[in-house]
């Protein structure tokens, strides 16, 4: 047994009346990859925040390399070689990657900061570990997962020995996830201990040396994945085996003859300083038809336009050309199609990232439970009778197992998975005819994913239709009836899910990558000039 | 020739009148860039004006007066920081309390010390901060360059030049200094700063105390630089005009400087207009009506000409 790099002993933490951690104990061996799993709200994120000094525990001990220390802030954690990749990124968007990383450097001169040495070091680390982004681009130009990876680069730069990753795989595309796996193994070989919190049981099962299972603020099991199967692991976590329902068992009778949604020649131009740039369309001549009683996935590389397409159909983003035909009525660019109109017609949208667009963190869960449907709320919930609203919220929370069961708590204080569940619960409770989902199960624990799938299939079998995009190939295969492939803003082809398996879908996307490679290079060069 | 001279005089007066606004606005810039709303500029300015004048009277040295004024500004800022950062109190309420406290405390202390009805004695020229004549790089003659140099640029109070230098220093500070970047980060995204391992609270404390010192300069300029002594409520809303200049200047040192010059010019203009006949009706226009012009124009400028002013993202959120 290797020596322990990090030990958390009997950590307790209360938020008002909620017990987030109730005596959690965790021992991480030096140079190992240690997985942490648990249902949403089990206290995983809180425990990691305690180790990084962002949250102060009520009681408990933290031991790093055999010495008891008090981690009163991130500053102290960094000094002891603890680094973290955060679930929610927070960077200074207009500054470059380099400037963001050196922000916390020791100040040697108050007048001027010499960045050459830092640049050299970072450039070397970047090459050694194969980070794809340049140091000089502004943070806004990176996508979400790249921004998360900057956290790792910063930790390496600060000489990390214990790296904590909080939900790193939630938004990664398959090849990015592969890259992360390789990166973590590389770190392990260098003697860095890695703690990884994730809901992707299968990835953790392959990757980790030890997995700890958290439940109700306590570590209930420490297991070696080599000694048990994936099914046993999920049993440890939720107390039963998780069986994901599969799309193939569908109700063919619900399939409608006329399309519910018909998108034709949809084009969106990029905007620079308020002017549209016709040479650079974000979406180009997209055609798409959706029938009632089917679930359709949009697959593509990151930033191929799948998220924008969802936004446009939901009415969150304008479009320049083409039309959207919803339930037999046509809308064109000049018709001021907007999200309120779409919602009235029966379109529901669960966007991503949840906290920025789907919820308002400063509102309570009660208000979040009918956000976007306030006008209906007036009639249905009676604004002057708060108990009805509360009951509605409590019902949703119970049904979706959102914890802690406190309707008055601010939605921003819930964990990411629980926020996602609330958005899904809200949108599904309206029984929409067309449901749009962006990363539907991001941050949601494996047990709850099962429930989400059941609900989605129930909606489909009642004649609704669902359009979603996801970075998880498994999810696309098991959830969809049809997969539409989008490439650089164009819908290129579509396949029936029944005709294809995960490897073939991956190949289809990779083939796209290969075809696309030369073009991508020219386009980035074009951006630079 | 005459009109050139009168324009020069007008601009000359704008410089003098813009300086107290400039110091206060730069003080506000520091604290608001770090994420703390600074409504208390007016009060800090007023109290440091009193503290500077009182010390100059007692000791006879304007430099000691200046030092005490700066200390007073820092002390009030420290109070604001203690309320807003350590105890996460409401920043606007704390600022208003500071304004009220300063207004009452300055006149009560002045009355207690000097028994002149809330004033300090008139200061002699030795008790005031000196004016600075620029080196004779250009001969004194009637050419416009010489006039510009000697009538407009030279001969101002020493603090006027300090103010100009401070604008450039702050601009460089935010652009190049690592500390400036941290300060900016504290107001833009405190979470990002905390994750980088920098104490947000310490950064904000530093910004507020530095701001307090600069605000002290503004008070000192009023009572022992430009003016000759303290009287009750002598700032008459200059702190709020400075705040307006800060918004008009979009929290950017150079733009704030421009905004302060504009407000200074408006004030100079109203003083000049008081002696003149306007549209041939010279005695009918009450002085008070002309005196409110800068305030009205402040409102107009803020309502119409600012355009889209983006505040530091985390301003006012603890």
pLDDT tens, position by position, A352-404: 877 778 888 888 888 888 887 776 655 565 666 778 788 888 899 998 888 88
Q: Kindly report whether the peptide bond that precedes residue B275 is cis, defined as omega within 30 degrees of 0.
A: no
Structure confidence at residue B157 (pLDDT)? 92
Specify the 3-state DSSP secondary structure of A308: helix
* Residues A80 and A69 sit within 8 Å (Cβ to Cβ): yes
- Residue A497 Cα, gap to closest chain B Cα (Å): 42
| Residue B180 in domain | yes
For tokens 């010192």, name the residue: B213
Q: Which among A425, A309, A313, A420 has a CA at the least distance from the CA of A358?
A: A420
Specify the 3-state DSSP secondary structure of A68: strand
- Residue B143 Cα, gap to closest chain A Cα (Å): 40
Decide if B179 and A91 are in contact by the 8 Å CB cutoff. no
Long-range contacts: A387-396, Cβ < 8 Å, 24+? A390/A366, A393/A365, A393/A366, A393/A368, A393/A369, A396/A369, A396/A422, A396/A425, A396/A426, A396/A429
Structure confidence at residue B238 (pLDDT)? 92
Q: Kindly report whether the peptide bond that precedes residue A353 is cis, defined as omega within 30 degrees of 0.
A: yes
| Residue B130 in domain | no
* Interface residue B1 vs chain A (CB under 8 A): no
Decide if A112 and B176 are in contact by the 8 Å CB cutoff. yes
Nearest by CB to B195, which of A74, A102, A105?
A: A74
Specify the 3-state DSSP secondary structure of A417: helix
**Positive or negative torsion for Cα B285, B289, B294, B297:** negative
Structure confidence at residue A528 (pLDDT)? 37
From first to last of its 529 residues, chain A has per-residue pLDDT tens of 457 888 898 999 888 777 888 888 999 998 899 999 888 878 888 899 899 888 889 988 999 888 888 888 888 898 899 998 887 788 888 889 998 998 888 777 777 777 888 899 999 999 988 888 888 888 888 877 788 889 899 999 988 899 999 888 766 777 778 888 899 999 999 889 999 998 888 888 888 999 999 888 888 888 888 888 888 888 888 777 777 666 666 666 667 778 888 888 888 888 776 677 777 788 888 888 888 888 999 988 777 888 888 888 888 888 888 888 888 888 887 777 888 888 888 889 988 877 778 888 888 888 888 887 776 655 565 666 778 788 888 899 998 888 888 888 888 888 888 899 999 999 888 888 899 999 888 888 888 888 888 888 888 888 889 999 988 888 888 888 889 988 888 888 888 888 888 778 877 776 655 554 444 433 433 343 3
* Interface residue B201 vs chain A (CB under 8 A): no
* Interface residue B184 vs chain A (CB under 8 A): yes
CA dist B45 and B27 (Å) reads 10
The residue of A74, A97, A140, A142 whose CB has the most chain B CBs within 10 angstroms, and thus the best one to mutate to test that interface, is A74
Q: Which among B206, B203, B207, B164 has a CA at the least distance from the CA of B32?
A: B207
* Interface residue B103 vs chain A (CB under 8 A): no
Structure confidence at residue B98 (pLDDT)? 96
- For B191, name the nearest residue in chain A, comparing CA atoms only: A90
Q: How many domains does chain B have?
A: 1
* Interface residue B96 vs chain A (CB under 8 A): no
What is the DSSP track for B37-72?
Answer: --TTHHHHHHHHHHHHHHHHHHHS-HHHHHHHHHHH
* Interface residue B151 vs chain A (CB under 8 A): no
Decide if A103 and B184 are in contact by the 8 Å CB cutoff. no
* Interface residue B178 vs chain A (CB under 8 A): yes
Q: Residue B14's domain is classified under what CATH number?
A: 1.10.3470
* Tokens encoding B257: 């400087």
* Interface residue B169 vs chain A (CB under 8 A): no
| Residue B49 in domain | yes
What is the ipTM for the molecules in this complex? Answer: 0.80
CA dist A154 and A135 (Å) reads 11
Which residues of chain B are within 8 Å of residue A90 when distances are taken between CB atoms?
A: 189, 191-192, 195
Structure confidence at residue B278 (pLDDT)? 59
Domain extent at residue B33: 2-125+143-303
Decide if A75 and B198 are in contact by the 8 Å CB cutoff. yes
Helix (H) or strand (E) holding A299: strand A295-299
* Residues A368 and A360 sit within 8 Å (Cβ to Cβ): yes
Structure confidence at residue B72 (pLDDT)? 97
Structure confidence at residue B309 (pLDDT)? 66
Decide if A90 and B192 are in contact by the 8 Å CB cutoff. yes
From the number of C-beta atoms within 10 Å of its C-beta (0-12, 13-18, 19+), residue B165 rates as: exposed
| Residue B314 in domain | no
Specify the 3-state DSSP secondary structure of A297: strand
| Residue B286 in domain | yes
Which residues of chain B are within 8 Å of residue A93 when distances are taken between CB atoms?
A: 189
From first to last of its 318 residues, chain B has per-residue pLDDT tens of 467 778 888 899 999 999 999 999 999 999 999 999 999 999 999 999 999 999 999 999 999 999 999 999 999 999 999 999 999 999 999 999 999 999 999 999 999 999 988 889 999 988 899 888 888 777 777 777 888 888 788 889 999 999 999 999 999 999 888 899 999 999 999 989 988 888 899 999 999 999 999 999 999 999 999 989 999 999 988 999 999 899 888 899 999 999 999 889 888 888 887 766 655 555 566 777 777 877 787 777 667 665 666 778 888 776
Structure confidence at residue A376 (pLDDT)? 64
- For A80, name the nearest residue in chain B, comparing CA atoms only: B197
Nearest by CB to B191, which of A75, A90, A154?
A: A90
Decide if A75 and B195 are in contact by the 8 Å CB cutoff. no
Decide if B179 and A84 are in contact by the 8 Å CB cutoff. no
Which residues of chain A are within 8 Å of residue B185 when distances are taken between CB atoms?
A: 92, 103
Over the range B98-135, which residues count as b (16 or more CB within 10 Å of their CB) and which as e? Answer: bbebbbeebbebbeeebeeebbbbebeeebbbeeeeee
- For B182, name the nearest residue in chain A, comparing CA atoms only: A103
Structure confidence at residue B276 (pLDDT)? 65
* Interface residue B206 vs chain A (CB under 8 A): no
* Interface residue B199 vs chain A (CB under 8 A): yes
* Residues B157 and B215 sit within 8 Å (Cβ to Cβ): no
Which residues of chain A are within 8 Å of residue B179 when distances are taken between CB atoms?
A: 107, 110
Structure confidence at residue B56 (pLDDT)? 94
CA dist A214 and A22 (Å) reads 11
For tokens 């000694």, name the residue: A227
| Residue B72 in domain | yes
Q: Which among A20, A84, A309 has a CA at the least distance from the CA of B197?
A: A84
Decide if A103 and B185 are in contact by the 8 Å CB cutoff. yes
Which residues of chain A are within 8 Å of residue B198 when distances are taken between CB atoms?
A: 75, 103-104
Decide if A103 and B176 are in contact by the 8 Å CB cutoff. no
Q: What is the dihedral of CA A37, A39, A45, A51, to 10 degrees?
A: -50
| Residue B21 in domain | yes
| Residue B178 in domain | yes
Structure confidence at residue B79 (pLDDT)? 96
């Amino acid at each position: 047994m290797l020596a322990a790099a990090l030990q958390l002993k009997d950590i307790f933490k209360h938020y008002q009346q909620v017990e987030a951690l109730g005596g959690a104990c965790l021992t991480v061996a030096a140079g190992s990859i240690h997985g942490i799993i648990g249902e949403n709200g089990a206290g995983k994120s809180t425990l990691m925040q305690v180790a990084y000094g962002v949250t102060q525990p009520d009681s408990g001990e933290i031991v790093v390399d055999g010495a008891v220390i008090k981690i009163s802030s991130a500053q102290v954690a960094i000094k002891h070689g603890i680094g973290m990749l955060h679930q929610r990124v927070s960077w200074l968007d207009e500054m470059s990657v380099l400037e963001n990383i050196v922000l916390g450097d020791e100040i040697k001169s108050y007048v001027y900061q010499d960045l050459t040495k830092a640049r050299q070091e970072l450039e070397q680390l970047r090459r050694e570990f194969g980070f794809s982004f340049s140091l000089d681009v502004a943070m806004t130009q990176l996508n979400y997962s790249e921004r998360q990876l900057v956290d790792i680069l910063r930790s390496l730069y600060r000489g990390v020995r214990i790296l904590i990753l909080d939900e790193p795989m939630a938004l990664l595309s398959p090849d990015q996830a592969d890259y992360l796996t390789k990166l973590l193994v590389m770190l392990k070989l260098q003697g860095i201990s890695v703690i990884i919190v994730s809901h992707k049981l299968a990835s953790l099962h392959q990757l980790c040396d030890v997995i700890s299972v958290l439940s109700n603020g306590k570590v209930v099991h420490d297991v070696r994945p080599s000694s048990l199967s994936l099914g046993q692991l999920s049993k440890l976590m939720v107390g039963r085996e998780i069986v994901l329902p599969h799309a193939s068992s569908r109700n063919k009778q619900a399939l409608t003859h006329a399309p519910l949604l018909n998108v034709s020649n949809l084009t969106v131009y990029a905007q620079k300083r308020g002017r549209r740039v016709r040479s650079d369309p974000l979406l180009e001549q997209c055609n798409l038809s959706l029938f009632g009683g089917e679930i359709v996935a949009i697959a593509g590389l990151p930033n191929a336009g799948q998220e924008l397409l969802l936004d446009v159909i939901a009415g969150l983003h304008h479009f320049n050309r083409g039309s959207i035909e919803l339930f037999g009525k046509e809308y064109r660019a000049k018709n001021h199609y907007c999200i309120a109109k779409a919602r009235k017609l029966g379109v529901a949208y669960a966007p991503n990232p949840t906290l920025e667009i789907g919820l308002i963190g400063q509102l309570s869960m009660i208000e979040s439970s009918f956000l976007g449907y306030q006008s209906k709320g007036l009639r249905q919930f009676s604004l002057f009778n708060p108990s009805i609203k509360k009951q509605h919220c409590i019902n949703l929370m119970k049904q979706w197992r959102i914890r802690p069961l406190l309707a008055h708590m601010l939605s921003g204080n819930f964990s990411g998975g629980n926020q996602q569940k609330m958005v899904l619960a809200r949108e599904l409770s309206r029984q929409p005819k067309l449901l749009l989902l962006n990363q539907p199960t991001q941050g949601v624990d494996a047990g709850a994913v099962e429930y989400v799938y059941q609900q989605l299939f129930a909606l489909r079998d009642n004649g609704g239709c669902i359009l979603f995009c996801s970075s998880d190939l498994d999810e696309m295969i098991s959830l969809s009836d049809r997969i539409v492939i989008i490439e650089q803003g164009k819908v290129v082809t579509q396949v029936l899910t029944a005709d294809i398996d995960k490897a073939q879908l991956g190949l289809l996307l990779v083939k796209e990558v290969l075809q696309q490679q030369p073009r991508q290079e020219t386009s980035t060069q074009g951006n630079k000039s | 020739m005459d009109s050139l001279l009168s324009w020069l005089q007008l601009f000359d007066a704008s410089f003098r009148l813009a300086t107290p606004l400039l110091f206060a606005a730069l003080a506000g810039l520091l604290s608001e860039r770090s994420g703390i709303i600074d409504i208390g500029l007016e009060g800090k300015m007023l109290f440091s004006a009193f503290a500077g004048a009182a010390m100059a009277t007692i000791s006879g040295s304007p430099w000691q007066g200046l030092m005490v004024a700066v200390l007073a500004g820092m002390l009030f800022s420290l109070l604001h920081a203690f309320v807003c950062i350590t105890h996460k109190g409401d920043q606007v309420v704390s600022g208003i309390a500071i304004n009220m406290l300063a207004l009452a405390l300055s006149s009560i202390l002045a009355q207690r010390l000097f028994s002149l009805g809330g004033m300090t004695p008139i200061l002699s020229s030795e008790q005031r901060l000196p004016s600075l004549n620029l080196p004779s790089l250009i001969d004194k003659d009637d050419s416009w360059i010489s006039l510009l140099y000697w009538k407009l640029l030279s001969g101002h109070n020493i603090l006027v030049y300090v103010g100009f230098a401070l604008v450039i220093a702050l601009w460089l500070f935010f652009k190049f200094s690592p500390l400036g970047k941290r300060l900016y980060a504290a107001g833009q995204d405190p979470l990002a700063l905390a994750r980088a391992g920098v104490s947000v609270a310490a950064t904000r404390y530093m910004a507020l105390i530095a701001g307090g010192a600069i605000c002290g300069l503004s008070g000192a300029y009023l009572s022992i630089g430009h003016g000759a002594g303290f009287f009750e409520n002598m700032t008459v809303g200059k702190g709020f005009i400075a705040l307006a200049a800060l918004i008009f200047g979009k929290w950017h040192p150079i733009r704030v400087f421009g905004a302060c010059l504009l407000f200074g010019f408006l004030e100079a203009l109203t003083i000049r207009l008081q002696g003149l006949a306007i549209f041939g009706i010279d005695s009918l226009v009450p002085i008070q009506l002309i005196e409110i012009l800068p305030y009205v124009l402040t409102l107009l400028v803020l309502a119409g000409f600012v355009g889209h002013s983006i505040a530091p993202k985390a301003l006012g959120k603890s």
